[in-house]
Amino acid sequence: MSALRLPARAVDAAIEAYQRRISPRKGYECAHRVAHGGDSCSAAVRGEVARRGVVRAVVPSAVRFLACYRAVALLLPTQTSGVCCLGPIPIPFSFGGRR
């Protein structure tokens, strides 16, 4: 990651801080990862920034956040909780346990 330009390094450092300090304590998992497996949104965006740079990673990141938001619909019938994560406003969700 040392080959990243300054803006990409700053974004990478911010995502890393989120992954290490906030994500483990928030009590939710990425809805996209819960529904589809693979990387969380934060890991996916971090990879996009590393590969493409900050500006070129904006659209793929927005597409990923939309897919994460849509993953909530897949999880509606199940008893699960998570968060559409790393967007400007994290969206926690919890479904299932209704009676």
- Per residue in 22-37, pLDDT (tens digit) is 988 887 789 999 999 9
Q: Is residue 1 part of a domain?
A: no
How far apart CA 27 and CA 37 sit, in angstroms, is 18
Q: What is the pLDDT of residue 87?
A: 58
How far apart CA 71 and CA 19 sit, in angstroms, is 20
CA 91 from chain centre, in angstroms, equals: 11
**What Cα–Cα distance (Å) separates residue 88 from each residue in 4, 10, 22, 42?**
23, 16, 14, 12
Q: What is the mean pLDDT of the chain?
A: 83
pLDDT tens digits, one per residue of 60-71 = 999 999 999 899
Range of the domain at 20: 6-95
38 pLDDT more than 60 = yes
pLDDT bracket for residue 17 (50, 70, 90): very high
Q: How many domains does the chain have?
A: 1
Mutual orientation of helices 58-75 and 41-52 as an angle, nearest 10°? 160
